[in-house]
């Protein structure tokens, strides 16, 4: 797999040295397709998605075998009564570790992986240019974030419907809505969770631009995530908590209110956008000034 990826990337970089060049638009589309193939053509990406799909299955089977949700609170406590809540519970359980780890792995190797394979130098000389290359990688990371959360959504949907009774959904505000309405809200939650991961993806992209060792980039990105978590757990510095990366991650639950509470959701999205903008700009500055031989 690595040999094939290396050959494909070198072929793209070699286009710049040929007499006939494709248009910038065509080359940009080819670059975006290549990045998506690079991410989703790896066996480890599919293994990661399989692990994420296993989260709702394991949770559902455990609750089914126990005969109830026990004394669990929150969404897990409602799964046995309505399989719909397996979707939301699985997304909530995946947010603290599984989803960030998956994003860390993919984003950490986005540029560092190219450098380690020796293909980054060729890609930097391609007609699409460094800015477009970086944009293509960020889009591929965003697509992976959405694919990861949709995987959990679909696995939770299937497992929930197979293992438990399903019906009308009682929202956090006490209002009862139809199952169709509940599923639409759950899908919206999956989209919000995916958007909440973009700030971390931006950090991973920047860290990946600093090194040619994918493992180092992954470790540094995950280390940054851990630092944010530690800072968020220290009450003495609660003044900075609202500005931390993960502060608003739990706001997705506000979609399960009638009407939804949008204030924290919007604030979280703005925060993720700010982190993404800052670290994407830093990655751009690093990539555009990078020695072509580096």
DSSP secondary structure of 99-132: HHHHHHHHHHTTTHHHHHHT-HHHHHTSTTHHHH
Res. 222: pLDDT tops 70:
yes
Instruction: Characterise 223 by phi-psi region: left (phi > 0), alpha (psi -120 to 50), beta (else).
Output: alpha
Name the one residue in this structure whose structure tokens are 């995950």: 222
Taking CA 54 as the corner, what is the angle to CA 51 and CA 59, rounded to the nearest 5 degrees?
140
Taking residues 56-62, what's their average pLDDT? 96
Taking residues 223-251, what's their average pLDDT? 96
3-state SS, residue 20 = coil
3-state SS, residue 216 = helix
Furthest C-alpha separation in the chain: 70
Res. 18: pLDDT tops 90:
no
Share of the chain above pLDDT 90, in %: 71
Q: Which residues of 76-101 are buried (b: 16+ CB within 10 A; e: fewer)?
A: bbbbbebbbbbbbbbbbbbbeebbbb
Res. 14: pLDDT tops 50:
no
The pLDDT of residue 112: 84
253 Cβ neighbours under 8 A, 6+ residues apart: 88, 92, 172, 189
Establish whether the linkage from the previous residue to 259 is cis, with ω within 30° of 0. yes
**Tokens representing residue 8 in the block:** 């494909």
Q: Could you give phi then psi for residue 170, rounded to 5 degrees?
A: -90, 115
């Amino acid at each position: 797999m690595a040999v094939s990826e290396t050959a494909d990337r070198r072929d793209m970089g070699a286009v710049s040295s040929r007499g006939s060049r494709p248009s910038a638009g065509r080359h940009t589309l080819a670059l975006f397709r290549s990045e998506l193939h690079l991410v989703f053509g790896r066996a480890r990406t599919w293994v990661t998605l399989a692990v994420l799909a296993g989260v709702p299955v394991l949770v559902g089977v455990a609750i089914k075998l126990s005969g109830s949700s026990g004394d669990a609170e929150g969404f897990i406590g409602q799964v046995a009564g309505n399989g719909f809540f397996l979707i939301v519970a699985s997304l909530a359980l995946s947010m603290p570790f599984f989803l960030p780890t998956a994003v860390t792995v993919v984003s950490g190797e986005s540029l560092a992986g190219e450098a380690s394979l020796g293909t980054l130098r060729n890609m930097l000389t391609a007609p699409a240019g460094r800015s477009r290359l970086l944009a293509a990688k960020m889009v591929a990371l965003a697509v992976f974030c959405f694919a990861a959360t949709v995987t959990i959504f679909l696995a939770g949907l299937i497992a929930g419907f197979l293992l438990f009774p399903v019906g009308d959904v009682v929202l956090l505000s006490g209002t009862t809505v139809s199952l169709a309405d509940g599923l639409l809200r759950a899908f919206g939650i999956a989209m919000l969770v995916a958007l909440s991961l973009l700030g971390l993806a931006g950090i991973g992209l920047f860290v990946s631009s600093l090194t040619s060792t994918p493992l180092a980039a992954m470790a540094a990105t995950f280390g940054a995530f851990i630092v944010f978590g530690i800072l968020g757990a220290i009450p003495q510095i609660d003044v900075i908590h609202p500005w931390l990366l993960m502060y608003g991650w739990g706001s997705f639950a506000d979609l399960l209110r009638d009407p939804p509470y949008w204030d924290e959701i919007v604030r979280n999205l703005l925060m993720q956008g700010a982190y993404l903008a800052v670290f994407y700009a830093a990655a751009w500055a690093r990539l555009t000034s990078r020695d072509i031989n580096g």
